[in-house]
């Protein structure tokens, strides 16, 4: 399972990005290839990747191992950041975009609109965690 400890989490995150691409396609009836690399949205690729990583290490090293403890703490920090700080940054971007639209109402604005989908809701994070664990269990042979 050596190389799989890296490969399974990476594939899990990529798989989740494909899910987000498909969800966007179904909801909007148009292709948006940026969804394959953008942050935010359902489910959380960050949460899926670190949940898969933690699960793989747990399966290989066991729950009481030092390595699993380190990976688990790392994973919890990533999940917290995905749901907390990055979500708040996304909400700020959304508010700033509304302010700009009101200030320049009726005028064509040139410039970059801030990306609003930076973080995740608790549901998006939870779904990412569940997908990551499932992905790790299925592809690690358990």
Q: For 98-113, how does the pLDDT look when each residue is reduced to its tens digit (9 = 90+)? A: 777 777 777 665 555 6
What are the sequence ranges of the domains in the chain?
A: 4-87+121-139
Residue 134 has a pLDDT of: 84
Peptide linkage before 6 cis (omega within 30 of 0):
no
The radius of gyration computed from the CA coordinates of the chain, to the nearest angstrom, equals 18
pTM: 0.66
Asked whether the beta carbons of 116 and 94 are under 8 A apart, the reply is yes
At 57, the pLDDT band (50, 70, 90 cuts) reads: very high
- The Cα 130–Cα 39 span in angstroms is 18
62-93 residue pLDDT tens: 888 999 999 999 998 888 887 777 666 776 77
């Amino acid at each position: 399972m050596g190389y799989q400890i890296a490969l399974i989490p990476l594939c899990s995150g990529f798989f989740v990005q494909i899910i987000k691409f498909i969800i966007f396609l179904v909801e909007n009836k148009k292709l948006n290839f940026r969804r394959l690399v953008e942050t935010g949205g359902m489910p959380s690729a960050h949460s899926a990747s670190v949940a898969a990583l933690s699960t793989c290490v747990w399966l290989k090293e066991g729950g009481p191992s030092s390595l699993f403890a380190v990976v688990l703490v790392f994973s919890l920090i990533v999940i917290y950041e995905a749901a907390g700080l990055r979500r708040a940054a996304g909400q700020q971007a959304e508010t700033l975009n509304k302010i700009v639209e009101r200030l320049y109402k009726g005028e064509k604005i040139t410039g970059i609109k801030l990306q609003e989908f930076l973080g995740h809701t608790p549901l998006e994070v939870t779904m990412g965690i569940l997908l990551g664990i499932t992905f790790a269990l299925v592809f690690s042979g358990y």
